[in-house]
Structure 1
Amino acid sequence: MHHILCGLAANPALTSETVDRLIAVADDDIATDLAGRADLSRSQAVALAARVQGSAALLAYEGRLTAADIDPGAQPDAALALLDGGTGPAEWARLLAVDPARERREKLAACPRLPSDVVETLAADPEVSVVAELARWATPHTAARLAGHPHAEVRLAVAANEATPPAVLASLVTGEGLPAPRRCLVCDQERPPFVHDPECPRLDCELPPGAACDGSHESTVHGIREAALRNPATPTRAVVAFADHPSALLRWALATRPDLPPHVCEQLASDPVPGVRGDLAGNPAIHDGLIRVLADDPDPDVRRALAHHPGIPLDVLAGLARTTRIGATLLPRIAVASPDEVAALATSTDPVTRMLVARRRDLPPGPRDRLADDPDAKVAKSVAGHPGLSEARLRTMIDRHGVSVLAQVAANPDAPPALLEDLTRHEPPVHKVFREVARHPRATAPALLACLADRKARPWAAGHPALPPSAIAELLGDGDWRVVEAAAANPSLPPAVVSDLTRRM
């Protein structure tokens, strides 16, 4: 019954009276579904928050509760939700800044537009995790002040904060102009020198693998540099020297920056670590010459990353597609190809090149239909989901290529109902077809009944409004809880069945 009630709570066809009955018996799971209802009234939201305390924060985030509906002393998590959204009163922030629960003070520290006195209270909090959370989201002024905090964990948070002033970030990278940190999470718990065993058997240990401190807090200082290198607000001049740093993690962080000068890009292109070269390959900072160099990289992951570069020349991309498994995805360069480039790609003699452009979903009718008639199955498969293809063309595609295109045709948003029914009757059956048809808005009752035979498609079919009401009601007794919830949430569930279920609550 519980899964039925969870499904009913999400059913958009319920009457207001039925929603009231569900609120009266709601637990945490049911409340989560009720809180997401578009038709939930303010009085119902207040009643639900009173019934299930844990739902108050979710309702507040959803905008269903206002400050007038919340008691911050009794519902602190809901109060935090409004503060996080910038609509909670300042008095609430002052109350929560001294809340005995550390987790709540941490959440408060991440809230925007806190009063200055609350910021001061949180900056002096005895728990370093609270101060670090404040530093991660602080304004430039507060971030600059916390950059000199004696605890390295707070500085790590400052280094990740994009609001931190560039000059302060540069100091965090180089260590110049700031006093050395005096503490870190490692020496808070262990006597230096100490290196945390990556295979640490202690279940209560919270130190990250490899964390180390010999008195210089080296692992956290390394983390500060890495965070600052990844921070786009850190000045370029402060980071370029790390291109030949012994730490691969720091070089890796550097490789993602779009502000790198050409000579640094060229240096990183010969890095011994494939991950560094791979991140560089996707970096818009690299020029055409370096793109062509990386196209010959021996590591397939590097070449795969390069294929996603937004500015890669089309001839280089075509060559990569022939030698590297890129996956069935629309590449950024193909997505922005001009009409002339699209026409050239669609008429290429190379089927791999035609396949690349066939993944677009905004093709003009001419190139779209030409690709749909392509003799190469991979090209046809890539374009089969394109809107606007006629039923005749889709059926011809099936006749030509068979099972290799069935699932993609089933996913076509313009596939007519009769074609979807035929696809579910295909021999041999294709399981992916059932999953696509089960969630297709044009699926008919016969097609959906066929989809119920497929285990993975069954939950989708159970929730489809075109499924016959008698079948939906029968699925309420299914052995798969996902099917039960989907059926109960189906707006075509007969009202008489809903009434019977609510009487049994």
Structure 2
Amino acid sequence: MNHLLRGLAANENLPPALVDRLIAVADEETADCLATRADLSHALAGRVEESAVRLAYEGRLTAADIDPRARPDVALALLDTGAGPAAWARRLAVDPVVEHREKLAACPDLPPDVLDTLLADPETQVVAEAALSAPAHVAARLAAHPCTEVRRAVAANEAAPPSALAFLLNGCGSPATHGCPACEGEPPSPDHGPPHDHDLTPAPSWDGLHTYAAHELLRAALHNPATPAEAVSPFADHPSRPLRWPLAARRDLPPKTYETLARDPVPGIRAELAENPAIGDDVIRTLVDDACHDVRRALARNPRIPLDVLTGLATGTRTGAAPLPRIASASPTEVAALAGSADPAVRMLVARRRDLPAGLRDALAADPDAKVAGAVAPHPGLAEPRLRDLARRHGVRVVAGIAANPDATPALLAELARHRPPVRKALRAIAGHANATAPALLACLDDPEARVVAAGHPALPAEVITALITGADLRSAEAAAANPSLPHTVMTELLPPASAPCG
């Protein structure tokens, strides 16, 4: 029954009386769905205890609704949003539960005395959490903290002074001989083991917590955009892949650094670099011949790629269905030139835009190449006769694109839904289309994925919605329970008595 109650909790047409009944029997998952309702009154919000933290984050609960002693988790949520009083922060700063103090340390804009208390906490993780968002003058002091975990938090703090970050990166922040888990005899936690998805060889090698802690401190500083470029650049040829990787996305490095990264042996680093708008034409033209498809695809997404390079990439590189940034910013003259290209791969690039002039849009819809026509098929403004002509000329290759067109009429959608052979992608688009009517939606029910979407469509007949609720497909049943066209009598029948638990 829980999946049906979750659906009801999301049903925008659920009457207030039934919302009240649902709150009375809601489990945690159902309560979480209830918490998102726009019509949840303040009085009712206070009764959804299982989702009180979420309600606090959404502004549905205030400090007046909460006893911080009884619900410290909710009090911390309000402090995290800036809606909790300073007195709560002072009380929680000395709370005996370490997790509460750690959560408090992550809250923004804490009073100075509360921050001082947290920075003097005997638990390292509390101090480190406070260091992550400490103001500049505090972060500068913490850069010399004896605990590596705290210095690593400073290295990730974007408010830390650039000089302090450079200090940490240039070797002055290497692990101390005390004050870290390795020296205190603590066993490695999941946060202190060697990373499973990154190669630390040939250096630094995994030789204990000290080396790993130092490595993670460096990585945090390299990811920090406030770390000065001159301190970051020397790491472009560092033996450790995780230390080189963050440089590829930085936009403030010298050209020579980007040239070094363009020769990196790791394709992922070159792909990250290829998408970076800060790289120059020389690096772009080096990467265009990269043997890795992912690098060339990333390069096509670079907003500053020259058009001649992009059009050269178009033929042999799959660039995805979304308009590329350089195409989206092309001038009217450039758009016209691209649309008139002899290469259909280039015409397809511009056909993906959704703001084309009517004449150009219609010309691309008449394109003899199915890929070009399919790319422009979802473009708003295409008249029904032109969409029908597209379907007639290119058949199954453009049906999904036509089904996604916001101007597709109910009659056309119904015809596309009955297309043989069925086009599954088209059925999923039709199932969620605002213009879809019952004939089209009924045809979508044969596809398992489209059925889930169609089950929530308000144009689906009430008797079909009701039948889906009792069907074997639980996802479709939940979507049907959330359908605003579900009869109120059925909603009432789905709710157990207020005294009965849902399960």
Question: What TM-score does the superposition give when structure 1 sets the normalisation length?
Answer: 0.92
Alignment of 1:93-112 (within 5 A): 93-112=89-108
Question: Counterpart in 2 of 1:209?
Answer: 194
Number of residues of Structure 1 aligned to a counterpart in Structure 2: 490
> Contact 2:182–2:209 (CA<8 Å) still a contact in 1?
no
Residue 455 of structure 1: CA displacement? 0.8
Please say if 1:351 is aligned against 2:336: no
Residues 157-236 of structure 1 aligned to structure 2 (within 5 Å): 157-176=153-172, 180=176, 182-189=178-185, 207-209=192-194, 217-236=210-229
Alignment RMSD (CA, Å): 2.1
Q: Distance in 2 between matches of 1:417 and 1:189?
A: 70
Q: 1:450 to 1:62 in 2, by over 3 A?
A: same
1:87 equivalent in structure 2? 83
Partner of 1:305: 298
1:496–1:281: structure 2 CA closer, same or farther, 3 Å change rule?
same
Contact 1:186 1:207 in 2 (8 A): no
1:104 CA drift (Å): 2.5
Query: 2:436 aligned with 1:451, yes or no?
Result: no
Q: 1:290 to 1:179 in 2, by over 3 A?
A: closer
Secondary structure of the residue aligned to 1:156 is helix
Q: Which moved more, 1:374-383 or 1:276-285?
A: 276-285
Which residue identity lines up with residue 47 of structure 1 in the other structure? R
Q: Choose the corresponding residue for 2:139, options 136, 143, 158.
A: 143
Q: Which moves more between the two structures, 452-461 or 237-246?
A: 237-246
- The question of 1:277 aligning with 2:270 is answered yes
Deviates more, 1:54-63 or 1:99-108: 99-108
2:335 is matched with 342
Per-residue deviation, residues 142-194 of structure 1 (Å, max 9, x unmatched): 22222112111111121111111111011011034889463434444569xxx
Secondary structure in structure 2 of the residue aligned to 1:217: helix
1:37-73 per-residue CA deviation (whole Å, 9 max, x = no partner) reads 1001000111222xxxx31101111111111011111
Q: Distance in 1 between matches of 2:404 and 2:449?
A: 16
- Matched to 1:295, the amino acid is V
Secondary structure, aligned partner of 1:80: helix
**Equivalent residue for 2:23?**
23
Q: Which runs of 5+ in 2 are unaligned?
A: 499-503
Give how far 1:397 is off: 0.8
Contact 1:258-1:283 at 8 Å conserved across structures:
yes
Give matches, 1:249-398, under 5 Å.
249-398=242-391
Q: In the superposition, relative to structure 1, how do residues 406 and 184 fare at CA in structure 2: closer, same or farther (>3 Å)?
A: farther
CA distance in 2 between counterparts of 1:163 and 1:409 reads 49
**What residue identity is the alignment partner of 1:12?**
E
Amino acid at match of 2:429: E
Distance 2:214 2:480 in 1: 54
Q: SS in structure 2 opposite 1:239?
A: helix
Q: Secondary structure at the match of 2:407?
A: coil
Query: Following TM superposition, by how much is the alpha carbon of 1:357 offset from its aligned partner in structure 2, in angstroms?
Result: 1.1
One-letter identity of the residue aligned with 1:410: A
**Aligned counterpart, 2:238:** 245
- The aligned amino acid for 1:144 is A
Greater relative contact order, per chain length (Cα 8 Å cut-off, separation 6+): 2
- Partners of 2:363 and 2:94 in 1: how far apart? 68
Equivalent position amino acid for 2:328 in 1:
A
Instruction: Note if contact 2:106-2:133 (Cα within 8 Å) is conserved in structure 1.
Output: yes
> What CA deviation, in whole Å up to 9, does each residue of 1:197-224 have, x standing for no partner?
xxxxxxx855333597758822221222
Is this contact kept in 1: 2:25–2:496, CA < 8 A?
A: no
Whole-angstrom distance in 1 between the partners of 2:174 and 2:207 = 20
Deviations 1:250-305 (A, max 9, x none): 22222221011112222222223323322221222211122112111222222122
Which residue number corresponds to residue 199 of structure 1?
A: none
Contact 2:175–2:214 (CA<8 Å) still a contact in 1?
no
What is the CA–CA distance in structure 2 between the aligned matches of 1:496 and 1:216, rounded to whole Å? 63
> What is the 5 A alignment of 1:113-132?
113-132=109-128
Aligned to 1:492: 485
Deviation, 1:98, is: 2.5
More off after superposition, 454-463 vs 94-103: 94-103
Distance 1:487 1:2 in 2: 13
Give how far 1:239 is off: 1.6
Cα gap change, 1:386 to 1:184, in 2 (>3 Å): farther
Structure-2 change in CA distance of 1:465 and 1:216 (3 Å): closer
Please give the alpha-carbon distance, in whole angstroms, between the structure 2 residues aligned to 1:460 and 1:29: 21
> Partners of 1:140 and 1:273 in 2: how far apart?
35
Amino acid at match of 1:65: L
Contact 1:230 1:256 in 2 (8 A): no
User: Structure 1 206/232 Cα, relative in aligned 2: closer, same or farther at 3 Å?
Assistant: closer
Q: Matched residues in 1 for 2:496 and 2:246: separation?
A: 60
Note if 1:470 corresponds to 2:472: no
5+ long unaligned stretches in structure 1: 197-203
> Which residue of structure 2 lines up, in the alignment, with residue 74 of structure 1?
70
The CA deviation at 1:97 is: 1.9
The alpha-carbon deviation at position 247 of structure 1 amounts to 2.3
Q: Which amino acid aligns with 1:118?
A: V
Paired with 1:313 and 1:243, the residues of 2 have a C-alpha distance of 25
Contact 1:148–1:179, Cα closer than 8 Å, also in 2: no
Once residues 477 and 289 of structure 1 are traced to their aligned partners in structure 2, the CA distance between those partners, rounded to angstroms, is 63
Q: For residue 264 of structure 1, what is the amino acid of its counterpart?
A: T
Distance in 2 (alpha carbons) for counterparts of 1:363 and 1:189: 66
2:419 maps to 426
- For 2:267, the aligned partner's letter is P
Counterpart contact for 1:152–1:181, Cα < 8 Å: no
